């Protein structure tokens, strides 16, 4: 009890300090600019909803009205509907995210991660992830979208909710349609884990050539919680072979009522989204021509760059191990190198928005590197390969195929099916992985904290001091992620 009290006091102090410092930055952001790029659409729509006017919808908005609905509930009855208060909803949401990060890390590491202070500091680091932290200060959907995804995941893996999972799952989708993919991933992870674990109990004739009846005393006495923790692709193949031969008749032998209630709610969310998709005819609500589904596999390589930049402390800590891994798997290195060269040659796509909008860092990255030099897209391939092995090195000892396979499918759907390169699209995919990284040392966590503080200080300084003048707009424009 005393240990838990100390933990919650530490978390309370951290959240309070985070909020106090962030509030000062928040006020400076508001003083600097009251309309930041897409807020031109979001803020007027949010004000209408906040005033209970639901009759108008801006056709340029691509997401469902989740952010505006939250604003209606949080602001409408209590505060004035203005830009400051609308943005403030996200700042509060970022504090909730910090607490959710801490809760999930506490569950993931249990008592194996040493100091509770390290878990809380890791949670703070995730809240300070530079692109995420910046969008916590303006009226974009990213902060609240992440909040509901984290809350949904926490309910599914920590709390045995009998009804709340369905509601929060719907909120995830209403905040941002692509969040349905993460709902599907949690469901797929659960299903695959159940199938593999049950095959390890009853499918021995495929593994050790000895049959085991599901009515045998041995089978009845097996504790599924003590089975092998991490499974590989071979385990998944064996499980599929076994259950195909038995018609999945005993796949859910060890599934209890609570598990069924969770899965039924998850399926209900997925079916509801399918109905929306059929009625809407597209995943986006507005501006459909600019956001059409496009095969853009190179986006996955850009995500590896995102990991390389924002996961740099983990990249450096595992650098020697990653190089050894690559030396021991030369054929895989060669294979991925050739594959990545083919991808960048045939599938490097450029969205008109990225070339025209000099208010994003991606504009400068593209124009000063990828577009400026003909060799640039090929010269970056070795970095992609290294970051791929580095990422695997940070995941391989603490994750199994029941997570990695659904995640790989989901990140392809979320990232590689859109033409526009947006750093915001990488936030949730990265955070999902960051929650499952190798258990870090305290020094690594402190290094990550200092690294993020420096990046945030630099990017906010650029936002505050660098002015961009557009002839088509009266307001001075600023550079953001």
Per-domain residue ranges of the chain: 1-159, 172-283, 293-440
d(CA 343, CA 336): 10
Question: In 3-state terms, what secondary structure has residue 15?
Answer: helix
CA distances from 178 to 174, 447, 478 (A): 10, 32, 27
In DSSP notation, 3-17 reads HHHHHHHHHHHHHHH
> Average pLDDT of 333-353?
94
Q: What is the CB neighbour count within 10 angstroms for residue 396?
A: 15
> Average pLDDT of 162-166?
88
Residues 237, 239, 240, 245: is their CA dihedral positive or negative?
Answer: positive
d(CA 290, CA 292): 6
| Helical pair 142-157 and 427-434, crossing angle rounded to 10 deg | 40
Supply the pTM of this predicted model.
Answer: 0.91
pLDDT tens across 222-246, in order? 444 445 556 777 778 888 888 777 7
Question: In 3-state terms, what secondary structure has residue 303?
Answer: helix
> Average pLDDT of 45-60?
92
For residue 325, report the phi and psi dihedrals to the nearest 5 degrees: -60, -40
CA distances from 79 to 50, 60, 75 (A): 10, 27, 5
pLDDT tens across 86-143, in order? 999 999 999 999 999 999 998 887 755 457 889 999 999 999 999 999 999 999 999 9
pLDDT tens across 347-392, in order? 999 888 787 889 999 999 999 999 889 899 999 999 999 999 999 9
| Helical pair 442-465 and 116-127, crossing angle rounded to 10 deg | 20
In DSSP notation, 121-145 reads HHHHHHHT-HHHHHHTTTT-SHHHH
Are the C-beta atoms of residues 26 and 137 closer than 8 Å to each other?
A: yes
**Structure confidence at residue 212 as a pLDDT band (50, 70, 90):** very low
The tokens describing 396, both together, are: 């391989």
Q: What is the CB neighbour count within 10 angstroms for residue 134?
A: 23
Residue whose C-alpha is closest to residue 397's, from 306, 322, 304: 322
d(CA 422, CA 453): 22
């Amino acid at each position: 009890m005393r240990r838990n009290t100390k933990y919650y006091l530490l978390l309370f102090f951290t959240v309070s300090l985070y909020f106090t410092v962030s509030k000062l930055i928040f006020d400076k952001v508001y003083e600097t600019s009251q309309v930041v790029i897409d807020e031109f659409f979001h803020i007027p729509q949010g004000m209408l909803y906040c005033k209970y006017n639901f009759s108008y919808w801006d056709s340029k908005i691509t997401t469902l009205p989740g952010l505006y609905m939250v604003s209606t509930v949080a602001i409408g009855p209590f505060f004035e509907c203005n830009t400051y208060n609308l943005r403030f909803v996200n700042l509060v949401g970022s504090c909730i995210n910090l607490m959710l990060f801490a809760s999930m890390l506490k569950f993931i590491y249990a008592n194996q991660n040493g100091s509770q202070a390290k878990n809380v500091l890791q949670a703070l680091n995730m809240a300070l992830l530079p692109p995420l932290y910046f969008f916590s200060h303006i009226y974009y959907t990213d902060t609240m979208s992440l909040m509901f995804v984290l809350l949904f995941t926490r309910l599914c893996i920590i709390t045995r909710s009998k009804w709340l999972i369905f509601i929060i799952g719907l909120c995830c989708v209403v905040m941002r349609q692509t969040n349905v993919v993460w709902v599907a991933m949690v469901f797929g992870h659960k299903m695959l884990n159940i199938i593999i674990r049950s095959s390890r109990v009853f499918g021995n004739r495929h593994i050790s050539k000895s049959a085991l009846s599901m009515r045998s005393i041995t089978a009845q006495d097996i504790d599924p919680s003590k089975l092998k923790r991490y499974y590989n692709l071979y385990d998944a193949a064996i499980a599929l072979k076994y259950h195909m031969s038995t018609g999945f008749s005993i796949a859910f032998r060890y599934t209890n009522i609570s598990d069924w209630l969770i899965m039924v709610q998850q399926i209900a969310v997925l079916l509801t989204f399918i109905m929306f998709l059929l009625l809407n005819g597209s995943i986006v609500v507005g501006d459909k021509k600019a956001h059409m589904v496009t095969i853009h596999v190179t986006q996955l390589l850009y995500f590896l760059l995102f990991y390389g930049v924002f996961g740099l402390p983990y990249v450096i800590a595992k650098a020697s191990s990653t190089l050894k891994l690559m030396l021991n798997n030369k054929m895989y290195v060669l294979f991925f190198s050739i594959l990545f060269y083919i991808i960048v040659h045939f599938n490097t796509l450029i969205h008109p928005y990225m070339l025209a909008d000099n208010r994003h860092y991606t504009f400068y990255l593209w124009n000063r590197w990828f577009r400026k030099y003909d060799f640039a897209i090929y010269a970056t391939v070795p970095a992609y390969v290294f970051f791929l092995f580095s990422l695997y090195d940070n995941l391989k000892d603490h994750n199994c195929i029941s997570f990695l396979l659904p995640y790989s499918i989901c990140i392809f759907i979320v990232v590689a099916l859109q033409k526009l390169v947006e750093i915001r699209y990488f936030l949730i995919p990265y955070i999902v992985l960051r929650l499952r990284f190798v258990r870090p040392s305290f020094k690594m966590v402190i290094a990550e904290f200092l690294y993020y503080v420096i990046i945030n200080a630099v990017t906010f300084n650029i936002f505050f001091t660098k002015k961009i003048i557009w002839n088509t707009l009266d307001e001075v424009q600023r550079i953001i992620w």
